[in-house]
Structure 1
């Protein structure tokens, strides 16, 4: 009888695991979707860093975003380091560098806790740099982590605040962590035991690749160390990203489930100072469980068992007060934060969940509905084959979002030379036979972005009274914008309309606007953020991604702060720049109606009011279909601008006030207040 009951429980857990697997595929993504994200990130990083060689810097997307997660609330982590400065573990390694070309830094771990080091500057340094960056100990100049972080946080283009080893800033509604650091080409001696542990996972070629790329030093010391303000932590972010890439999909989803468990149960409602466990602890637990082969078979039917084993390991660590770093086990990551009463309180809470059993997963809103649906039906067969799960439109949505909004796209501070460098880099890479279809699409989109930026920058930077030269520049700009539209999506034609409006060709601009209207009215169109896909699969299915994007995808119009597209939006771009937003994101229908109103003012004043009524109806009554919630600030603002230019100042004042009441996604409040002040004077 007991064996029958045990078998029934086993089957129920398997069914529950399968349902959670499906839920996690919806929440985190299928293996195909995650692989696509990584492909796109990798090619973006490669292009960006090829171009940034002239700036002698390398940038790497790290953290959850770099690993392939796109869960709501995930911050963006970026590591930035100089390509000129070289860090070594012992003096014998200096033979690989030229001190004349590369300033050398020596790691000194003799007086630091495991996982931390001091950085001794071997190269000569000026008195001024010494005061700004260094601290003198034992007649040697050491680079102070606290001074270094203070400098990076105070840089005007970041306007950031310290957060651990990072400089944190807000871009719209997203927090971006910049970790300025140093790269070390050599594997740390203190992590040599990790290489010896890698018998079965990861595979030898992954181990070799990790060791070959070394590690990084980030600006934060151990809170219990003797030199907390000057120490640096040894970071294995690149190695960890490669390890996450080496996971199978069940292992990756287990890691994702632990992250949800952490954010939606353990840390739910807590301030940053109250949070004791973090995502890094979850990831470390998964690493240890995989490498120690505690679980023999990672598969959808065992997903909850895998989660439970990881959870019990974390519970054990909290009980003992020891969380060993995966690469340097002597580095106890609980030492400075989880001890005493806090440790006891956390253990009691976790143990209460342990006693409750797997049913505590019902407290995770993201997956609760799946468990409730499937738990009472143990005989139900649940499809976990990712090939047959109906996620096709979801995949398309995610692909276009990744292609269009990836953080490595060149956004700002580009000149003609920079645009040319980008185009040469892309031209060199696009012929590679190793490109995946997603990487090719990303390069195509990147080309469109650069061509578009070049067209407007060329117009801005060319000051001449010579008609022939102005004509040539104008012809080049128009050609680049049309070419960019061929590489892009439906709404990329809007940039051509803006250019025609800017150059006083209102009839041509209106003809482009009419073409865009016709294309957007088709039922197959997918708008990123909100989709209407009844005809999408039927009409577009089977065609190339490039064709799908060009014929059936609409996206927000992205205006970079340092390029003047149309004069009417310059105050908003300047406001965004002052608040350290690099772009304005405008819903396509909003900008379409705005351009229509501005053009009709010059060619057919009778039709201005009709276009204004259409815009007003859209802004007042849209339920999130054409205007995403995060775009309502700029939408009300543009309505106000159009009402202002047509002379309805009272309505414009109301619209500006409404703009201030929305979520400040685009950071245009400075411009809004300025326009309100203008309205108050005029009234």
Structure 2
């Protein structure tokens, strides 16, 4: 079982193929710069949320593949939530670190549970309603039942989620899969994992070990299938520790982990039914952890990538043969115990051993990697450059970075007080040791928070009879929106136009619209990931991200359902909100032409019709360049609304009917049917 090979007996060229696969993985998984950027954006998002909501509100932590930096097709979004005032302790002596009047303490009782699992005993009568509802009485004490808690909290984060393991699961927009785990936190490292600290001689580094131990652990709501108290037990989760370990990997180690994930999905599990997929990504990650720590491979580099993969694969094969997969932190916890044994274990071993006998030729079954291997096999003298800086252009990196930032710029900021806390948090974070990417992300956050605050303030004082209060609120809102024009991207200026329209200042709104129209028409503008690379590079190549954002980037307009931006879209926001969507995402040019039409209605009917014609041409004929396919439901809806306002009821009916045939991303079908009914 020693040597990786393409075919039995042929050992030459492995390093060359490894370099080619390294390049392929950099393009599939990401370069080290891309992975670092993804982590930075996610980390600062979490930092802002948790620092601003640090009292007793729900704390949140991204976990899983997305947090680790993967963006491969099928990567799901996992996050864990917990109450900050319900800490778990390992023994009663640790109560001294908490204010018992402000914290509801929970004691971990693991004497009757398998390794890695525990019971959670509530020590005080005071606790949140969801905890009280999940209590059971055992051995004279009150314990939190994991099964009850899981059922109660399944849809706490995202409505209509279904129970999947310890999580509430579902898909956002029918596309992005998510798992949300409502859990408990412990500030102390588990005594049962103390041996892990002693094992860390070479990896991870001492400062990483200290950071991990200081960060404690979590408890997720699932028991051991073979335990005595399965429905009441909780699993000790090392998600935060694992995230820190993955962050501490070098890029070759991370790509080896990515290669194992691809191999699992595209080769090992290919053609198997869901019940037959016994190995999971967590087993792959565990194998990489053990391989790194045991120092099996002295040099993790592009030339050794396939050798690294082979050692990890052999370790997994050994585990399956023995029926033992030791948890990295608590080795006594055999993660195969409940499902990989008997006949299922034998079938899995036979399958894996078949891939082992083929050697690295097994990788040819992977669609993601096949071409990178065959290119070298057919062209053994092919020159391969593994310099990551040559594998992705500046424009490609910018496109992904802006996409990542705008996707993460979704913090709830409809509450004015919370909005101010977010802004105050950003002010404090600016002086923290942050990466350049994280500082830039704070700029994006600031723009979003100021926009939300401006409209929230206007909504609060729009009906007041106190002219002075309304005047002060308006001045503050205008000042905040003027600031966003300095910080934000081109399309952010449309929020100012929306505000002016909402406050009946049509001339001012049209002035902003005209300037924005000129900016959006520039051939180098990156338009929601659509960009002319050559012209973008000529215009802003080599300049700061802030300059690029302000002069060469446009993104979709986001309308939070708890804030009224345009009265004409209140019905759509209300219906979408009732169907558990949180925002409307609208293409910038659709918003621009809509506002142009609505404003000119009050000033110049001919120009209003011209704006409506522009909107109609855009929605009818765009090929996914300016109107993303996923946003066609709201785009057709807006066209119909404008046509209905203009009196062209037949055209409006056609537009509404088209809206109903699109992908229902925004869940506005009921609003569309209501508007069709209004047409008579």
TM-score by length of 1: 0.94
Residue number in structure 1 paired with 2:278: 276
1:364 Cα deviation after fit? 2.4
Q: Which region of structure 1 is more displaced relative to structure 2, 551-560 or 91-100? A: 91-100
Residue number in structure 1 paired with 2:38: 37
Secondary structure, aligned partner of 2:295: coil
Does the 8 A contact of 2:187 with 2:215 survive in 1? Answer: yes
Cα distance change on mapping 1:130 and 1:216 into 2, 3 Å: closer
Does the 8 A contact of 1:411 with 1:582 survive in 2? Answer: no
Q: Which region of structure 1 is more displaced relative to structure 2, 290-299 or 242-251? A: 290-299
Cα distance change on mapping 1:156 and 1:65 into 2, 3 Å: closer
Q: Distance in 2 between matches of 1:165 and 1:129?
A: 16
1:578 Cα deviation after fit? 1.8
Q: Distance in 1 between matches of 2:204 and 2:169?
A: 33
Residue number in structure 1 paired with 2:552: 552
Residue number in structure 1 paired with 2:336: 334
Residue number in structure 1 paired with 2:261: 259
Q: Distance in 2 between matches of 1:248 and 1:645?
A: 59
Q: Which region of structure 1 is more displaced relative to structure 2, 129-138 or 279-288? A: 129-138
Residue number in structure 1 paired with 2:623: 623
Q: Distance in 2 between matches of 1:620 and 1:491?
A: 22
Q: Which region of structure 1 is more displaced relative to structure 2, 595-604 or 293-302? A: 595-604
Is 2:456 the counterpart of 1:454?
Answer: no
Q: Distance in 2 between matches of 1:323 and 1:95?
A: 37
Q: Distance in 2 between matches of 1:176 and 1:335?
A: 26
Does the 8 A contact of 2:619 with 2:635 survive in 1? Answer: yes
Q: Distance in 2 between matches of 1:30 and 1:257?
A: 14
Does the 8 A contact of 2:130 with 2:149 survive in 1? Answer: no
Residue number in structure 1 paired with 2:59: 58
Number of residue-to-residue matches in the alignment:
673
Does the 8 A contact of 2:189 with 2:217 survive in 1? Answer: yes
1:253 Cα deviation after fit? 0.8
Is 2:127 the counterpart of 1:119?
Answer: no
1:128 Cα deviation after fit? 8.3
Q: Which region of structure 1 is more displaced relative to structure 2, 212-221 or 395-404? A: 395-404
Structure 1: segments with no counterpart, 5+ residues: none
Does the 8 A contact of 1:573 with 1:584 survive in 2? Answer: yes
1:26 Cα deviation after fit? 1.5
1:274 Cα deviation after fit? 4.5
1:270 Cα deviation after fit? 5.5
Residue number in structure 1 paired with 2:110: 109
Secondary structure, aligned partner of 1:53: coil
Does the 8 A contact of 1:525 with 1:533 survive in 2? Answer: no
Does the 8 A contact of 1:529 with 1:628 survive in 2? Answer: no
Q: Distance in 1 between matches of 2:12 and 2:674?
A: 65
Cα distance change on mapping 1:548 and 1:480 into 2, 3 Å: same
Secondary structure, aligned partner of 1:120: strand
Cα distance change on mapping 1:659 and 1:127 into 2, 3 Å: closer
Residue number in structure 2 paired with 1:12: 13
Is 2:342 the counterpart of 1:349?
Answer: no
The residue correspondences of 1:143-542 to structure 2 (distance < 5 A) are 143-155=144-156, 158-172=159-173, 173-268=175-270, 272-406=274-408, 409-412=410-413, 414-432=414-432, 434-462=433-461, 463-542=463-542
Q: Distance in 2 between matches of 1:64 and 1:156?
A: 19
Q: Which region of structure 1 is more displaced relative to structure 2, 422-431 or 121-130? A: 121-130
Over residues 29-88 of structure 1, what are the superposed CA-to-partner deviations in whole Å (9 max), with x where a residue is unaligned?
211221122222222222211101244332111111111122223221111111111211
Q: Distance in 2 between matches of 1:127 and 1:481?
A: 39
Over residues 242-300 of structure 1, what are the superposed CA-to-partner deviations in whole Å (9 max), with x where a residue is unaligned?
00011000000111122222223334466654432221111111111111122221111
1:202 Cα deviation after fit? 0.7
Residue number in structure 1 paired with 2:665: 665
Cα distance change on mapping 1:57 and 1:127 into 2, 3 Å: closer
Q: CA RMSD of the aligned region, Å?
A: 2.3
1:365 Cα deviation after fit? 2.5
Q: Distance in 1 between matches of 2:449 and 2:128?
A: 42
Q: Distance in 2 between matches of 1:523 and 1:130?
A: 57
Cα distance change on mapping 1:612 and 1:372 into 2, 3 Å: farther
1:345 Cα deviation after fit? 2.9
The residue correspondences of 1:577-596 to structure 2 (distance < 5 A) are 577-596=577-596
Cα distance change on mapping 1:271 and 1:55 into 2, 3 Å: farther
1:186 Cα deviation after fit? 1.3
Does the 8 A contact of 2:21 with 2:372 survive in 1? Answer: yes
Q: Distance in 1 between matches of 2:143 and 2:137?
A: 6
Does the 8 A contact of 1:160 with 1:167 survive in 2? Answer: yes
Q: Which region of structure 1 is more displaced relative to structure 2, 91-100 or 180-189? A: 91-100
Does the 8 A contact of 2:59 with 2:81 survive in 1? Answer: yes
Q: Distance in 1 between matches of 2:631 and 2:266?
A: 27
1:126 Cα deviation after fit? 8.4
Cα distance change on mapping 1:500 and 1:127 into 2, 3 Å: closer
Does the 8 A contact of 1:15 with 1:375 survive in 2? Answer: no
Q: Which region of structure 1 is more displaced relative to structure 2, 649-658 or 583-592? A: 649-658
Cα distance change on mapping 1:126 and 1:543 into 2, 3 Å: closer
Over residues 640-663 of structure 1, what are the superposed CA-to-partner deviations in whole Å (9 max), with x where a residue is unaligned?
222222233333333333323322
Cα distance change on mapping 1:461 and 1:290 into 2, 3 Å: same
Residue number in structure 1 paired with 2:134: 133
Cα distance change on mapping 1:644 and 1:366 into 2, 3 Å: farther
Q: Distance in 2 between matches of 1:126 and 1:590?
A: 49
Structure 2: segments with no counterpart, 5+ residues: 1-5
1:571 Cα deviation after fit? 1.9
